[in-house]
Amino acid sequence: MKKSEMKKHSGQIITAIVIIVICIILGLLKPGRETLLSMTSPEMQKMIDADASSTRKRVTVTYNSLFIINYASLSTSGANVMSERYVGFLGKVYQADEGVMKVVGQMVNYTYRMLGVGENLMHGAKLTITLTTLTVLFGVLLGTLLALGKISKKKILSKLSGAYIFFFRGTPLLIQIFVVYFTVPGIFGFAWRDLFNVNDAEAVYKGAFIAALIAFALNSGAYCAEIVRSAIQSIDKGQFEAAKALGMSYGQTMTRIIIPQSIRRMIPNVSNEFIMVLKDASLVFAISLMDITTVSKNIMTSEGSYLVFIPALVIYLVITAFFGFIFDKIEKKFSVYE
Amino acid sequence: MSDQYEYILKTEHVSKRFGTLEVLKDINLSVKKGEVICIIGPSGAGKSTFLRSLNQLEKITSGKIFIRDELFLHRENDHTVDKLPREKQQELLLEMGMVFQRFNLFPHKTVLQNVCEAPIIVKKEKKEDVEKRAKELLDRVGLSEKADEYPSRLSGGQQQRVAIARALAMNPEIMLFDEPTSALDPELVGDVLKVMKELAESGMTMLCVTHEMGFAREVADRVLFMADGIIAEEGTPEEIFTSPKAERTKNFLNAVLEA
Instruction: Name all domains of chain A by residue range, CATH numbers in brackets.
Output: 31-115 (no CATH), 124-337 (1.10.3720.10)
C-alpha separations of B247 from B25, B211, B233, B243 in Å:
19, 19, 10, 11
Q: State the first-to-last Cα distance of chain B, in angstroms, to the nearest integer.
A: 48
The mean per-residue pLDDT over the stretch B52-56 comes to 93
Q: Which amino acid is at B34?
A: G
Minimal CA–CA distance to A90: which of A47, A31, A146? A31
**What is the rounded distance in angstroms from the CA atom of residue B157 to the CA atom of residue B255?**
26
Average pLDDT score over residue span B90-114: 95
- CA proximity to B172, closest of B202, B152, B142: B202
Q: Would the CB atoms of A261 and B108 count as touching at under 8 Å?
A: yes
Identify the CA nearest to A63 among candidates A81, A29, A90, A40.
A40
**Alpha-carbon span A249 to B97, nearest angstrom:** 16
The β-bridge partners of B104 are: none
Which residues of chain A lie closer than 8 angstroms to B105, CB-CB?
Answer: 242
* Contact assignment for A239 to B151 by CB distance below 8 Å: no
| pTM of the shown model | 0.83
pLDDT of B2 strictly over 70: no
Task: Say how far apart CA B199 and CA A151 lie, in whole Å.
Answer: 39
**What would the pLDDT profile of A116-152 be if each residue is shown by its tens digit?**
888 888 899 999 999 999 999 999 999 999 999 999 9
Length of chain A: 338
d(CA B194, CA B197) in angstroms, rounded, equals: 5
Q: Does the structure show a pLDDT above 70 at A1?
A: no
The answer to whether A101 and A92 have CB atoms below 8 angstroms apart is: no
The pLDDT assigned to B173 comes to: 94
How far is residue B167 CA from its own chain's centroid? 10
pLDDT of residue A278: 96
For the cut 80, the answer to whether the pLDDT of residue A80 exceeds it is no
Question: Which residue in chain A has the smallest CA separation from B87?
Answer: A247
Task: Return the biggest CA–CA distance within chain B.
Answer: 55
Distance CA A149, CA A162 (A): 8
Query: Is A297 strand, coil or helix?
Result: helix
Report CA B126 to chain centroid distance, whole Å. 27
Q: At what angle are helices A124-151 and A203-233 packed, to 10 degrees?
A: 40
Query: Tell me, what's the pLDDT at B7?
Result: 93
For residue A6, pLDDT over 70 is answered with no
- Contact call for residues B208 and B37 (beta carbons, < 8 A): yes
Q: Which residue has the higher pLDDT, A46 or B67?
A: B67
Give the separation between CA A203 and CA A180, rounded to whole angstroms. Answer: 17
**Helices marked H in chain A:** 3-29, 33-37, 42-52, 99-115, 124-151, 155-170, 173-178, 184-188, 203-233, 237-245, 250-252, 259-280, 292-303, 309-334
Strand spans (E) along B77-196 = 79-83, 96-99, 174-178
Answer yes or no: do B152 and A336 touch at CB < 8 A: no
Q: Are strands A83-89 and A69-76 parallel, antiparallel or unpaired?
A: antiparallel
Q: Of A210, A256, A226, whose CA–CA distance to A143 is shortest?
A: A226
Q: How far apart are CA B90 and CA B226, in angstroms?
A: 29
Beta carbons of B87 and B45 less than 8 angstroms apart: no
Q: Which of A65-79, A108-122, B135-149 has the highest mean pLDDT?
A: B135-149
Tell me the average pLDDT across A171-175.
Answer: 97
| Rounded distance between C-alpha atoms, residue A77 and residue B99, angstroms | 85
- Does A242 sit within 8 Å of B104, measured CB to CB? yes
Q: Taking the CB of residue A61, how many other CB atoms lie within 10 A of it?
A: 15
Higher model confidence: residue A150 or residue B258? A150
- Look at residue A2 and tell me whether its pLDDT is greater than 70: no
Rounded to two decimals, the ipTM of the complex is 0.92
Contact predicate B134/B165, CB 8 Å: yes
Q: Which residue of B55, B107, B163 is in closest CB contact with A261?
A: B107
| Chain B residue with the nearest C-alpha to that of A262 | B108
Query: How far apart (Å, rounded) are the C-alpha atoms in residues A26 and A9?
Result: 26
The predicted-structure confidence for B153-179, as pLDDT tens digits, reads as follows 999 999 999 999 999 999 999 999 999
- The reply to whether residue A248 touches residue B118, judged by beta carbons under 8 angstroms, is yes
**DSSP letter (8 states) at residue A80:** S
Chain A residues with CB within 8 Å of chain B CB = 236, 238-239, 241-242, 244-248, 252, 256-257, 260-261, 264, 336-338
For the stretch A296-332, pLDDT in tens is 999 999 988 889 999 999 999 999 999 999 999 999 8
Residue of B86, B106, B162 to mutate, testing the A interface (most A Cβ within 10 Å of its Cβ): B106
Q: Which DSSP string corresponds to A22-68?
A: HHHHHHHHS--HHHHHTTS-HHHHHHHHHHHT-SS--EEEEEEEETT
Mean pLDDT, residues A98-118 taken together? 90
**pLDDT surpasses 90 at A335:** no
Q: Do B97 and A248 touch (CB under 8 A)?
A: no
